[in-house]
C-alpha cells in the first residue's frame, strides 16, 4: 500500500527513548474488548499480552511511568456518542470495563478514564503527562484503527512524540491494521516493535522503525 500523497514526508528522526521523559500508554486493554464473554471481543487479543507486559516491565525498570486508559461509560446517559454507533459496552462499575487479569499492573501505575474514543478528549491525560514531565509516548492497546488511532492523533496535535508498538496493538482486521499503522507512520509518529522498544529503554539505543506499507 503506497500513496503519492502520504510519501511527501520528512525523513524520520532517530529516536532513543529517554525514560525520564517517556510514558507507556495502555489503551483499552479491558474485558469487554479482550476477554471471552465481553460485549465486543477482538479475536486474538490475547497475543498482545506477552509483548505488552514485557514493554511495561522494561519501562518501569527504567523509571518510565505506565498509564492505563480505560473506556468507561455511565449508566443513564441520554446521549452517549459512542452508543450512537456501537453496542453499549464498558459500563462503569462492571466487569467489562475492568483491565484484563493477564495484564501486569503495579501500584505506581496511573489510570485515566475516557468516554470517547480518544484518551485525550475531555480527560486529564494531557495534564497527567505534563505533571509527569513527559513528551514522548509509547502506545499499545486496542483497537488500532479506533481508540489507539484517535489517541495517537490527539497526542500528535498536542505536541507529543509518538511511538506505536506494532506487536502491542491490534485492529479489527489485517486491512485496518496495515492502513492505520501506515497512516500513523507517515503522518503522526513512528512504528517500532516491542523488542526494539525494550532495548531502547534498557540501553538507550535508537529505535528500529517498521516500514509500514
Residues with active-site annotation: 28, 114, 147
- The alpha carbon of 100 is separated from its chain's Cα centroid by a whole number of angstroms, namely 15
- Measure Cα distances from 200 to 121, 139, 148, 183 in Å: 30, 15, 22, 24
Q: Decide: helix, strand or coil at residue 172.
A: coil
Please give the Cα distance from 118 to 186 (Å, whole number): 20
- The alpha carbon of 179 is separated from its chain's Cα centroid by a whole number of angstroms, namely 16
Please give the Cα distance from 32 to 159 (Å, whole number): 31
Who's near 8: CB < 8 A, 6+ residues apart?
A: none
Cell of 103: 495484564
- Helical (H) or strand (E) element with 152: helix 149-157
Other Cβ atoms within 10 Å of 139 Cβ, number? 27
Q: Look at residues 11, 29, 16 and name the one whose alpha carbon lies nearest to residue 139.
A: 29
Amino acid at each position: 500500500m503506497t500513496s503519492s500523497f502520504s510519501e511527501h514526508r520528512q525523513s524520520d528522526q532517530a529516536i532513543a527513548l529517554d525514560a525520564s521523559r517517556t510514558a507507556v500508554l495502555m489503551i483499552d486493554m479491558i474485558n469487554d474488548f479482550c476477554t471471552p464473554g465481553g460485549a465486543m471481543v477482538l479475536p486474538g487479543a490475547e497475543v498482545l499480552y506477552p509483548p505488552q507486559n514485557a514493554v511495561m516491565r522494561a519501562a518501569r525498570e527504567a523509571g518510565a511511568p505506565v498509564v492505563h486508559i480505560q473506556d468507561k461509560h455511565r449508566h443513564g446517559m441520554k446521549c452517549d456518542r459512542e452508543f450512537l454507533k456501537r453496542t453499549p459496552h464498558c459500563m462503569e462499575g462492571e466487569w467489562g470495563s475492568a483491565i484484563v487479569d493477564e495484564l501486569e499492573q503495579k501500584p505506581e501505575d496511573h489510570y485515566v478514564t475516557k468516554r470517547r474514543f480518544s484518551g485525550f478528549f475531555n480527560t486529564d491525560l494531557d495534564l497527567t503527562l505534563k505533571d509527569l514531565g513527559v513528551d514522548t509516548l509509547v502506545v499499545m492497546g486496542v483497537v488500532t484503527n479506533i481508540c489507539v488511532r484517535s489517541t495517537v492523533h490527539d497526542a500528535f496535535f498536542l505536541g507529543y512524540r509518538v511511538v506505536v508498538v506494532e506487536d502491542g496493538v491490534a485492529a479489527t482486521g489485517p486491512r485496518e491494521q496495515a492502513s492505520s499503522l501506515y497512516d500513523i507512520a507517515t503522518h503522526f509518529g513512528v512504528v517500532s516493535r516491542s523488542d526494539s522498544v525494550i532495548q531502547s529503554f534498557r540501553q538507550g539505543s535508537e529505535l528500529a522503525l517498521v516500514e509500514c506499507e
